[in-house]
Amino acid sequence: MSSEPIPLSKALASFDALWSPRIVTRVNDYDVRIAKVEGEHIWHVHDDTDEFFLVLDGELHISLREPDGERTVLLPEGAVFTVPRGTEHKPYAPSGAAILMFEPTGTPTVGDRHDEIPEHVDSTTGHELST
């Protein structure tokens, strides 16, 4: 990890892959990840951890399956949202977005229960950011 400030715009400009997070830094046992996203991800759940999202650019939608039914939250640029642990959810960005996520190191982006990793996901735990 860098011992210098990391401009997020420069970090985002360093890659093009969608749904493929880059780890920009670590805080204790947590990764701070950025990703470019467009289209749909998959329905998934994190059994033991919440998942924090900050929209840096664009707009992110997160569909949630909750005990009282399904709903979708809309996160415009600058908005934050935390998906509670154990909540099945599916992020999607119809027009594309850049996001920042904060989650325990090693947390797979496809959740804890999955049979198949989608073709658009090339790493389930993020790549180190190249500088």
Per-residue pLDDT of 2-32, as tens digits, reads: 788 999 999 999 999 999 999 999 999 999 9
pTM attached to this predicted model:
0.87
More confident residue, 47 or 3: 47
Residue at 94: amino acid letter: P
Predicted pLDDT of residue 110: 66
List pLDDT tens digits, range 56-98.
999 999 999 999 999 999 999 999 999 999 999 999 999 999 9
Distances (CA, A) of 113 to 31, 43, 52, 121: 20, 10, 19, 15
Q: What CATH number does the domain located at 8-106 have? A: 2.60.120.10
Predicted pLDDT of residue 130: 72
In three-state secondary structure terms, 13 is helix
Q: What letter would DSSP give residue 129?
A: P
Q: How far apart are CA 10 and CA 8, in angstroms?
A: 5
Would you kindly state where each structural domain of the chain is located, as residue ranges?
8-106
